[in-house]
A = this chain, B = another copy of it.
Amino acid sequence: VAVVTTGPIHFYFDLASPYAYLASHRVDAIAARHGRTIDWRVFLVGAAFQTTGAKPLVHQGPKGDYSRHDWDRQARRMGIRFGLRDDFPMALLAPSRIYYWIKAQDAGKAVSYAKSVMSAYFADQQDLASIDIAAGLVTPLGLSSEEAAAAAQDPAWKQHLKTETDAAVARGAFGSPFLFVGGEPFWGNDKLDDLELWLAKGGW
C-alpha cells in the first residue's frame, strides 16, 4: 500500500490539450477538499509523444473522432464553452514559455495566466501560437506584454521550457494531463475521480 506524501500535487499539462483544459477546471478544488494544493506544470506533450510513438488524438482515425465527441460531451456536462481552431493541434510555444517567465515571479499569477490562455484557446479559438496574442494576456495580471513577448523569444526561457518538458517526460508523463500525488501517477482527465479517492483513502 502506497503512502500519500505531503506537498503539492504535480499537475503536468499542455496548454493545447483539451483534456487538460477540462481537468484545469477541477484540480484545485479536488486538492483543496483534501487539504492539498496543485503545482501547475506546463510541458509540451508532443515531446512525450516521441517516447511512445503516439500521435495527437485527432490524427488517430476513429480514436480522433471519438475524442472530439468526448471533449464536446464532457464540456457540455461541465457547462464549459469548448471548440477547436481549424489549425488544431498546434504546439503553443509562446504562452508555454511566458508561463514559466511569470511563474518565476509569482506562481499564482502563472496559474491565472494558464487559465486565461486555455480559455482564449478553447472557449474563443484565439490564435495562442501568436506571440502577440499570448503576450497580450499578461496585461490583466499587471505585467508587461512587451516583456512577455521578449521572454517568449528569449533563449533562456526556451531552454527552461525544454528542461521542464524533459523532466516531465523522464518522470513518465506520456500524456496530458498527467498528475503525481507523491510518486503515484494518474493519467488523464478521466482519472481525477480515482485521484480524489486516493487522497481520501490515503492510497490503497
Contacts and interface: CB of A to CB of B under 8 A. Distances in A.
A61 B69 contact: no
Interface string A90-115: 00000000000000000000000000
Contacts of A124: none
Contacts of A187: 66, 70
B69 A185 contact: yes
Contact of A66 (B54, B62, B76, B185): B185
In the complex, which of the residues A63, A76, A175 has the most CB atoms of chain B within 10 Å of its own CB atom? A63
A123 to B, nearest CB: 19
B174 A61 contact: yes
Interface in A163-196: 169, 172, 174-175, 185, 187-188, 190-191, 193-194
A175 B77 contact: no
A61 B50 CA distance: 10
B188 A66 contact: no
A73 to B, nearest CB: 8
